[in-house]
Structure 1
């Protein structure tokens, strides 16, 4: 849409000089031009740094399957070559879409990376819930606790790939507050879940052992199993060795009575 008053500066409204040749001016001075640029840059920054769950334009929100298709391309690239290789052009090629489609759905590379991390969290949670539902005895709290912690281990190709992607994001999140906010989950829901399971299992078995702190144990278990999963990726440990270590700590926390 053209300005209603093309003879006035878009920033301050001052009269504009008549153009001798070329396109007519839209700003009365370099100062107003700089102000306009800063406003546009600020608006882009606010859009990219929008909080998780912020409303999106309807057209983008409707493109769920296409957004997921593009996010999956980000995951593949991150798992194989790291996030530095996930340029908009590379992602478009891996997803089998045009660069314009990627830009339409995500706006910028930063917006793409943040959205792909959100979608990865959702995908992993969906898969974890499905696996938990297939447990032989959902009332066996020890088995449930082991299954929750097992989600941090590369027990199959999907979890191996997800762990590699999370490691790529972790490195980048050290210098990116927006990614860190998504990656770190300030509320620590996993630690809270593990602590609640420990507390529930102890209560069902006569109460916790003397000196046992479920919250502290949960912190150690989640951090420990994450590190053990990384060791498996590097080939430093085997899954069998990690399972033995995990069983050792669960036996210590929830001994048979």
Structure 2
């Protein structure tokens, strides 16, 4: 059912998510879905939790796979993990975009997004500060890098950048920080 929920949310948007639609996608009865989720809001809460877990796992995997040697290498691995560079990441980015729009009118969801953004920004700030490079201002540079990653993610989804060009833009900005 979780996979069915994800497929509906990614392909049709959050507005299409309902107990009946998820049941149809999963090939089970609506009653079976209701056994796990009492309402549409519970379905959406579950989807939001899954999105956070998926992004966290992508970041952990990216950091592990990249074998970062320096704090800036860690920043790069973290930011690359935020980009929708493969099918799973593109699906997650589409679902994330839908949740962002929903968060604009939902105080609880908006605070969840803000909390996640603060954690992410804190991680980047800490690594930039650890880099010890004179030309880096950790707070504003973290904001710039995260905004760049967000903009590149949108550009990849829209087909304005492919994976290689998005990563190249990110690398260009990180090289500027390295040079001070």
Q: Same fold (TM over 0.5)?
A: yes
Distance in 2 between residues matched to 1:156 and 1:187, nearest whole Å: 22
Q: Are 1:118 and 1:182, in contact at CA under 8 Å, matched by a contact in 2?
A: no
Distance in 2 between residues matched to 1:183 and 1:73, nearest whole Å: 24
Report which structure shows greater RCO (CA 8 Å, sep ≥6). 2
- TM-score relative to the length of structure 1: 0.64
For 1:64-213, list aligned pairs within 5 A. 70-135=1-66, 137-185=67-115, 188-202=118-132, 207-209=133-135, 212-213=136-137
> SS state of the match for residue 254, structure 1?
helix
Distance in 2 between residues matched to 1:123 and 1:154, nearest whole Å: 12
Partner deviation per Cα, 1:155-185 (whole Å, 9 max, x = no partner) = 1111111101101111111112232233332
Q: What's the offset of the Cα at 1:187?
A: 6.2
**1:253 alignment partner in structure 2:** 177
> SS state of the match for residue 82, structure 2?
coil
Q: Which has the larger radius of gyration?
A: 1
Distance in 2 between residues matched to 1:194 and 1:166, nearest whole Å: 20
Cα distance change on mapping 1:235 and 1:144 into 2, 3 Å = same
Q: What's the offset of the Cα at 1:101?
A: 2.4
**1:65 alignment partner in structure 2:** none
Distance in 2 between residues matched to 1:115 and 1:180, nearest whole Å: 16
Q: What's the offset of the Cα at 1:255?
A: 2.0
Q: What is the number of equivalent residue pairs in this alignment?
A: 180
Partner deviation per Cα, 1:34-74 (whole Å, 9 max, x = no partner) = xxxxxxxxxxxxxxxxxxxxxxxxxxxxxxxxxxxx33322
Partner deviation per Cα, 1:72-110 (whole Å, 9 max, x = no partner) = 322211211111111211111222332122222221101
Q: Are 2:68 and 2:77, in contact at CA under 8 Å, matched by a contact in 1?
A: no
Distance in 2 between residues matched to 1:233 and 1:194, nearest whole Å: 23
Cα distance change on mapping 1:100 and 1:181 into 2, 3 Å = farther
Moved over 4 A (4+): none
Alignment RMSD: 1.9
